[in-house]
């Protein structure tokens, strides 16, 4: 799925490659698993083995953000996890809004994995007046006309788009106009967004299409 990342850099901080940023949550996941198994220290070799990466690449990724660990000893699991969570902004909770309460949207708001990681879906919207007012997973479906007001009132920072492709760009435009700068997009579309707005796309069909290359 294509992604849009129009963030700007002032030049005062080193530019971190996008691929490195996308790997950081994987590090956090492995560190969390180690922490839950009562392991205090992990080496770059152990991290690399779990992630199928070289230890050198892991050390290079982490070097963008400072010095971690000690040579010959490895990384303190709890400390590194806490530092990476802070770097990623995962040391706080994020209020999130979802637009598009069809079958996919209902499945997403019902997914139990968001809240434990700090992502709280606090509002759900749809343009279909026939389903506005329904309750799904303790969320009352709101009319899309109230998007901007609700975003401001609930301090929503992230948007999730689960509408059909024909409406995706329009919905993303509305989210951006409401002040949302981070959007998770399930529609098979590469949207146009202004500088400073980042869009992550999820398209399982594209993933399947790339997999068939290896089994054709």
**Fold assignment, 18-88:** Arc Repressor Mutant, subunit A (1.10.10)
CATH 3.40.980.10 fits 94-207, yes or no: no
User: What are 69-101's pLDDT values in tens digits?
Assistant: 666 678 999 999 999 999 999 999 999 999 999
Q: Where are the beta strands (DSSP E) in the chain?
A: 4-5, 41-42, 75-76, 94-99, 119-126, 135-136, 139-143, 158-161, 182-185, 198-201
Name, of 27-36, 39-48, 186-195, the range with top average pLDDT: 186-195
Would you say 93 and 158 are in contact if contact means Cβ atoms under 8 Å apart?
no
Indicate whether 185 pLDDT > 90.
Answer: yes
| 22-48: average pLDDT | 90
Tokens standing for residue 71: 């040579």
Domain regions of the chain by residue span: 18-88, 94-207
For the whole model, what pTM was predicted?
0.89
- Cα–Cα distance measured from residue 160 to residue 201, given in angstroms and rounded to the nearest whole number: 10
Residue 2 has pLDDT above 50, yes or no: no
- Residues 137-159 have a mean pLDDT of 97
**How far apart are alpha carbons 135 and 157 in whole angstroms?**
22
pLDDT band (50, 70, 90) for residue 39: confident
Q: Which residues, at least 6 apart from 171, have a Cβ–Cβ distance to it below 8 Å?
A: 99, 100, 144, 161, 163
């Amino acid at each position: 799925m294509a992604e849009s990342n129009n963030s700007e850099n002032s030049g005062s901080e080193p530019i971190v490659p996008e691929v490195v940023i996308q790997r950081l949550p994987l590090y956090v996941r492995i560190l969390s698993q180690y922490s839950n198994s009562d392991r205090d220290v992990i080496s770059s070799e152990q991290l690399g083995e779990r992630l199928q990466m070289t230890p050198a690449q892991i050390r290079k990724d982490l070097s963008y953000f400072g010095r971690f660990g000690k040579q010959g000893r490895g990384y303190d699991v709890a400390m590194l996890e806490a530092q990476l969570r802070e770097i990623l902004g995962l040391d706080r909770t994020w209020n999130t809004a979802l637009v598009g309460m069809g079958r996919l949207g209902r499945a997403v708001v019902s997914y139990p994995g968001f809240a434990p990681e700090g992502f709280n879906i606090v509002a759900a919207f749809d343009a279909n007046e026939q389903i506005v007012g329904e309750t799904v997973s303790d969320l009352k479906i709101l009319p899309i006309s109230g998007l901007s007001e609700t975003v401001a009132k609930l301090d929503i920072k992230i948007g999730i788009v689960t509408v059909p492709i024909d409406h995706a760009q329009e919905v993303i435009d509305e989210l951006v106009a409401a002040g949302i700068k981070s959007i998770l997009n399930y529609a098979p579309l590469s949207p146009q967004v202004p500088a400073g707005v980042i869009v992550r796309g999820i398209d399982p069909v594209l993933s399947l299409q790339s997999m068939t290359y290896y089994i054709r």
